[in-house]
Amino acid sequence: MQTKPRIAFIGLGIMGLPMAWHLLKAGFPLTVYNRTASRASDLVRAGARQAATPAEAAPGADFVISIVTDGPDVEQVLLGPDGAVHGAQHGAVFIDMSTISPETARNLADRLSLHQIEFLDAPVSGGDVGARNATLTIMAGGKQDVFERARPVFEVLGKRLTHVGPAGAGQVVKACNQVVTAVNLLAVCEALTLAEKNGIDQQTMIHVLAGGASQSWSLENMGPRIAKGDFTPGFMVKLLQKDLNIVLSLARRHGLALPGATLVQRFLEDNVAHGEATEGSQALYKALKRAAE
């Protein structure tokens, strides 16, 4: 009987924790690391091993998966003094599922290759709902054969798995995803505001629009939360702001104007100025309402 590959999983946040659970339940031998160690307690009780550092998590792992906040965090957990690279075996595959810049992803691939370690940048889309339901969309940059090696792991986490090009390409596609997500979320917020100002029940409006050409993930997942006044984070304002910084930096490099993404970023700046950085990205609705007052 063929044994499943061993996985080291780094980052047990809103997305990472349910993803780690899916891997453990699927029978992958799992070692986990998280900066706040208590986040791993239930996983450990269920059979995962806990490491004190990323370097301690990596020995013997066939795949090292990271999903943390930003580029500097990825560099720290993979290549820092206690980074996973210092415990990894030659031939291991590092898979970063964070959202970082394409430049950082390409740099990581180059630096890890010096240690005979393969790298995939494989950011995800689908939010906390997709992470919990194992229905994430995964867009991966790197070598095609390495992607195929990782496919059995990805199949546990998501439903649409696509190799999109060389190292860094996954992050370019994720930047495109964030443009559509952000501008669509703004459209949902505008529609909810318009309905409210005209005396239409917001939940009723969502029900109607979700059956027609306006149907979207943001409408069906963020719309009801906004209508209920639920701004708890599945994805925080400050993280969407970080992602749009990546988007707009990439656009400037190519001389592109992205007016929709730029406008959303301005509203997010208002959220942050009003102490809403750690609320869910649907708090964009609050900034829009303030602008209309």
Q: Which residues are catalytic?
A: 174
Whole-angstrom Cα distance, residue 89 to residue 262? 43
Q: Which two tokens mark 165? A: 């090009």
Closest CA relative to residue 165, chosen from 142, 137, 138: 142
**Tokens representing 44?**
């450990």
* Residue 127 falls in which region: left (phi positive, over 0), alpha (psi -120 to 50) or beta: left
Please, what sign has the CA dihedral across residues 134, 137, 140, 146? positive
Residues 132 and 22: beta-carbon distance below 8 Å: no
* CA distance readout (Å), 193 to 205, 227, 262, 286, 288: 11, 10, 20, 10, 8
Report the C-alpha gap between 282 and 224 in whole angstroms: 10
Non-local (6+) Cβ contacts of 38 within 8 A are none
Burial string for 133-147 (b: 16+ CB within 10 Å, else e) reads: ebebbbbbbbbeebb
SS3 breakdown of the chain: % helix, strand, coil, rounded to 5? 55, 15, 30
